[in-house]
Structures are given as structure tokens and as C-alpha cells.
């Protein structure tokens, strides 16, 4: 045997395996400054996050996207926010007339290196219809004129 572990050593090792990962988890909770924003094409809904200036803090929030009048492409963004749930930063969401998407956001905020923390939704326009030369594309749904984004802190 390469090494032997006493019963006391095994108990200490088992406790370290359980306690160390828990100690590495952020204990404080960051707070999302929620609200409702109606976006036109090219606009963004930005929701600041309070917390994370002294080190990692957990974030729980809820965001809903709706009131889509046609088709819309929305990109999710974040700064000093590490998502542990969908959507990931950079995710492109495509919605059609009448769609509503709800996201329970779970993540970690760490703004200890400076800068502000936030999440954002960018209304980038409508997805290009799949239309090949010679096809009749008159039936393609038009782009939405606006999209509504509502976010609230998970504690609310």
C-alpha cells in the first residue's frame, strides 16, 4: 500500500471534501434592479445588479419577454455575471407573434475587478426568412415593432 490513513485522518478528509466546496460558494446575495422596458428594434433593456463588488455573490432573478407583434430576435448579454442557468450570455432567442418566454435566472455576480454588473436583452430585429430565389416569400411573418422585457429580483 502506498500510504495508510487512520480513522481520524479519514474523518478529516471526508469533512474537508464536504466543507471546502461549500466554503467556496458565494454566501451573499446580489440584487437585480428590475423593471419593465418596451423595446423597439435596435434598443436594449439593461438591468443593473447590486452586489459582487467585494467578491462573488449569488443572483436569483426572473425575466419575461413578451408582447411580440411579429417575429423578433433578442440577444441576452451580461457583464460581471456568470450564468448557471439558461440563457447563456450571447444566446439569440427568436420569438414569434404571441410568444412569451420566461427565464428563472441563476448565476454568480463578481464585479470585484471593477466595472458594473448587469444583464441585458438586445432587440436586434427579425430573423431573415428562409427564402430562396424563385420562391414566393409573401407569406413570411413581418418583424415585430416592439418587444416587452420584464425582470425582477428573485427575492421579490
Domain with residue 96: its CATH number is: 2.60.120
Considering the domain boundaries, does residue 133 fall inside one? no
Total number of domains constituting the chain: 1
Spatial neighbors of 156 by CB under 8 A, at least 6 apart, are: 34, 62
Q: How far apart are CA 119 and CA 47, in angstroms?
A: 5
Residue 101 and residue 110 in contact, taking contact as beta carbons nearer than 8 Å: no
How do residues 5-59 score in pLDDT, each as one tens digit? 566 555 555 544 544 444 455 457 999 999 999 999 999 999 999 999 999 999 9
Q: How far apart are CA 121 and CA 18, in angstroms?
A: 38
Higher confidence at residue 12 or residue 111? 111
Considering the domain boundaries, does residue 82 fall inside one? yes
Domain that holds residue 68: 26-128+144-153
Considering the domain boundaries, does residue 116 fall inside one? yes
Is 0.85 topped by the overall pTM?
no
Amino acid at each position: 500500500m502506498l500510504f495508510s490513513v487512520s480513522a481520524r485522518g479519514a474523518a478529516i478528509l471526508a469533512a474537508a471534501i464536504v466543507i471546502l466546496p461549500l466554503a467556496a460558494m458565494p454566501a451573499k446575495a446580489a440584487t437585480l434592479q428590475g423593471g419593465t422596458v418596451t423595446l423597439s428594434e435596435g434598443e436594449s433593456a439593461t438591468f443593473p445588479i447590486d452586489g459582487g463588488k467585494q467578491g462573488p455573490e449569488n443572483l436569483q432573478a426572473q425575466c419575461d419577454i413578451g408582447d411580440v407583434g411579429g417575429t423578433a430576435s433578442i440577444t441576452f448579454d451580461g457583464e460581471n455575471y456568470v450564468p448557471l442557468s439558461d440563457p447563456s450570455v450571447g444566446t439569440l432567442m427568436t420569438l414569434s407573434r404571441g410568444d412569451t418566454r420566461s427565464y428563472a435566472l441563476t448565476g454568480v455576480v463578481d464585479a470585484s475587478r471593477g466595472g458594473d454588473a448587469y444583464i441585458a436583452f438586445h432587440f436586434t430585429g427579425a430573423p431573415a426568412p428562409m427564402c430562396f430565389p424563385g420562391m414566393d416569400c409573401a407569406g413570411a411573418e413581418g418583424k415585430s415593432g416592439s418587444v416587452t422585457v420584464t425582470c425582477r429580483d428573485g427575492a421579490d
